[in-house]
Homo-oligomer: A and B are copies of this chain.
């Protein structure tokens, strides 16, 4: 079976045929007008013609492109401006604003489409020899600058893995599946479903991201409490480093020295190219069941989540909005008279409530029993039925389209995420909010920040912040940098992880050494030197350029 590659926008999120404008969401628009003091009309930040964007001239030595065409075939090598543009950056706020501003200071000189591991091997050998940097590219949905050209002084070839997208094997007895790294989420799940199994890894980027990208960036999906982060799902990985082919075997468990699979997971293209992986799969669930609960406050919701996580009773999906994000969710849904009435009975103010979604899947019996057991943890809150949770599930993949429209309306909108021990979750939450509000005040615009927990562990939880503010025209990027710097500083100073599932990329690279400590940083640097002695693999990611 061949690749199924979604046709996507070069300038924004996802499917060219799909859009969700702010105009189509009057309640959200009203909420933001108030929260961000948005003007009634604004001159849109429009998408320019692709042809009008000036790409930097090529850095490649004469003959290198032709040599690569000889190695891979003509149709596997492109220097067309449209391909260079499409592979110039990821899908973070910074990326999408730069594209709209026509500010593409760096782009790969070539885009390569290898069809096999042999092709990848040839590319790595050639590029090591010629000093050409290689950027592995899956779906290109990085929001931390993971696929951009960070060192414009060097020639770059981006390695788009979309042609390496076969499901290679399903072991129905061991419940494992082996696939090439370039397979996209929907194609993988569809082919697995045809064999009665599934991976169950649904990051928000699911439709436009790949197996290899998930592994390279340590991604996490909606049902993570059941299936784990991608590192929990990985059995084996093949990593093609410039120095050789690493077949990393992890499962079933072993006591054979340090776990080397763990070096490939999260390597973000800096150690080599992940070309294939074997992952755990599970039989297609018989049933799914959701519930929505309004807690009297975020603190009470956190207590419920912690109780469930620490007593082995985590719902497969557990999602908890803080008070601000709840207000946004309720407003965007057009408010809810029923919810308000229900809450009043229990003395909960909707304005201070904290909204949670819980989801279960598996056999009918398991879903029904676990759902029943979950109830005792929700008791401090008011159950609001499956509706809001189901609507949230449906709308998850739509939200990034709304972001495109917000940017067009000149709204600064981004997310940062972290994870903290339970004893530290509320402190990090408060610190990030404080830092954000101070930062937007310094910039001189009103801002809004909300947060949710979406992944829980016995020792702690993730915190996912969404923030918005009015763009200052002409200062779009400096304003963003100031805000992002402030919230990142608050996370690190508060003891949170630099990232829980977005990764480091180039955007967090300046903080990486501080986050993991000098000695560990040096160790990882040496590890990179061992696997990539010429330093061709994805320069500027994880390690800043020149580090």
Contacts and interface: CB of A to CB of B under 8 A. Distances in A.
Contact of A173 (B373, B422, B504, B524): B422
Interface stretch (A33-41, A119-127, A430-438, A453-461): A453-461
Given A235-B459, A248-B520, A369 B369 contact: yes
Contacts of A531: 523
A257 B457 contact: no
Interface stretch (A48-56, A204-212, A260-268): A260-268
Interface string A288-321: 0000000000000000001000111100000000
A373 to B, nearest CB: 8
A251 B176 contact: no
Nearest to A270: B257
Interface stretch (A20-28, A346-354, A387-395, A494-502): A494-502
A130 B499 CA distance: 42
Interface string A518-536: 0110111011001100000
A272 to B, nearest CB: 10
A402 interface: no
A276 interface: no
A231 interface: yes
A460 B280 CA distance: 11
B520 A419 contact: no
Nearest to A503: B255
A474 interface: no
B459 A174 contact: yes
A174 B460 contact: yes
A499 B252 CA distance: 11
Nearest to A310: B175
A312 B366 contact: yes
Given A171-B421, A256-B512, A280 B524 contact: no
Contacts of A512: 256-257
Contacts of A219: 255
A504 B256 contact: yes
A175 B309 CA distance: 11
Contact residues on A (Cβ < 8 Å of other chain), bracket: 35 or more
Interface stretch (A67-75, A99-107, A239-247, A378-386): A239-247
A400 interface: no
A15 interface: no
Interface in A211-232: 217-220, 226, 229, 231
Contact of A258 (B229, B262, B460, B462): B262
A363 interface: yes
A63 interface: no
Contacts of A252: 419-421, 457, 459-462, 497, 500
Contact of A260 (B280, B283, B457, B523): B523
Interface centre among A173, A266, A523, by most chain B C-beta atoms within 10 angstroms, is A523
A445 interface: no
A419 B312 contact: no
A421 B177 CA distance: 12
Nearest to A271: B258
A362 interface: yes
A455 B175 contact: no
Contact of A497 (B256, B271, B498, B520): B256
Contacts of A265: 258-259
Contacts of A363: 311
Contacts of A310: 175, 282-283
A515 interface: yes
Contact of A247 (B257, B271, B520): B520
A312 B226 CA distance: 9
Contacts of A515: 256
A253 interface: yes
A251 B369 CA distance: 30
Interface in A345-377: 362-363, 365-366, 369, 373
Contact of A266 (B255, B283, B500): B255
Contacts of A171: 421, 423
B520 A260 contact: yes
Given A176-B421, A267-B258, A519 B246 contact: yes
Given A251-B459, A253-B501, 14 more contacts: A171-B421, A171-B423, A173-B421, A173-B422, A174-B424, A220-B255, A235-B459, A253-B419, A255-B499, A259-B265, A259-B266, A263-B263, A282-B458, A369-B369
Interface of A: 171, 173-176, 217-220, 226, 229, 231, 235, 241, 243-249, 251-260, 262-268, 271, 280, 282-283, 306, 310-313, 362-363, 365-366, 369, 373, 419-424, 455, 457-462, 497-504, 512, 515-517, 519-520, 522-524, 526-527, 530-531, 542
- 10 closest A-B pairs by CB: A252-B460, A262-B262, A218-B255, A173-B423, A174-B421, A254-B497, A259-B262, A252-B419, A244-B519, A526-B530
24 contacts: A171-B421, A174-B424, A176-B459, A218-B255, A218-B256, A219-B255, A241-B519, A246-B520, A246-B523, A247-B517, A252-B420, A252-B457, A252-B500, A253-B419, A253-B462, A253-B501, A254-B498, A255-B501, A256-B497, A257-B266, A258-B265, A259-B265, A262-B262, A312-B362
